[in-house]
């Protein structure tokens, strides 16, 4: 059976931009191993030593000693929440750079 690009895109046809954004966020949540809770996303890294809580208005990190730090953000749409989850999964230490350089680009 050959690959049919139209077949792969057919479920997406007719979806609104908001529906596509939510679908992509759901795919990212599954890919990085995050868990969707009531209004936020939990991402455990380093064998559970660090826990990130990502909400539309903030990103919170909690270490194994139960101490934490919070970054306040403007309201993030689904696309940016997905980006935050991917960046944290790829490089958890990026949180410290965000905290120390609050106006730097997301990937800094």
39: left (phi over 0), alpha (psi -120 to 50) or beta: left
Report in angstroms the alpha-carbon separations of 107 from 46, 86, 102: 20, 11, 12
Domain ranges (residues) in the chain = 34-103
Report which of 46, 49, 44 is spatially closest to residue 85, judged by C-alpha positions.
Answer: 44
Please check the confidence at residue 6 and state whether its pLDDT lies above 70.
no
The Cα–Cα gap between 49 and 39 comes to 23
Structure tokens at 43: 């991402």
For residue range 67-86, what is the model confidence (pLDDT) as tens digits?
788 887 778 888 889 988 99
Where residue 30 falls among pLDDT bands split at 50, 70, 90? very high
Please check the confidence at residue 106 and state whether its pLDDT lies above 70.
no
Where residue 104 falls among pLDDT bands split at 50, 70, 90? low
Please check the confidence at residue 32 and state whether its pLDDT lies above 90.
yes
For residue range 34-68, what is the model confidence (pLDDT) as tens digits?
999 988 898 888 766 788 899 888 888 887 777 78
Could you tell me what percentage of the chain is helix, strand and coil, using 3-state DSSP and rounding each to the nearest 5?
Answer: 40, 20, 40
Backbone torsions φ then ψ of 89, nearest 5 degrees: -65, -40
């Amino acid at each position: 059976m050959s690959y049919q690009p139209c077949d792969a895109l057919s479920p997406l046809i007719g979806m609104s931009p908001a529906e596509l954004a939510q679908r992509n966020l759901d795919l990212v949540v599954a890919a990085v191993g995050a868990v969707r809770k009531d209004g936020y996303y939990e991402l455990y890294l380093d064998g559970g030593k660090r826990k990130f809580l990502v909400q539309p208005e903030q990103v919170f990190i909690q270490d194994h000693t139960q101490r934490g730090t919070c970054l306040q953000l403007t309201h993030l749409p689904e696309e940016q929440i997905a980006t935050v989850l991917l960046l944290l999964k790829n490089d958890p230490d990026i949180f410290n750079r965000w905290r120390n350089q609050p106006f730097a680009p997301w990937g800094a």
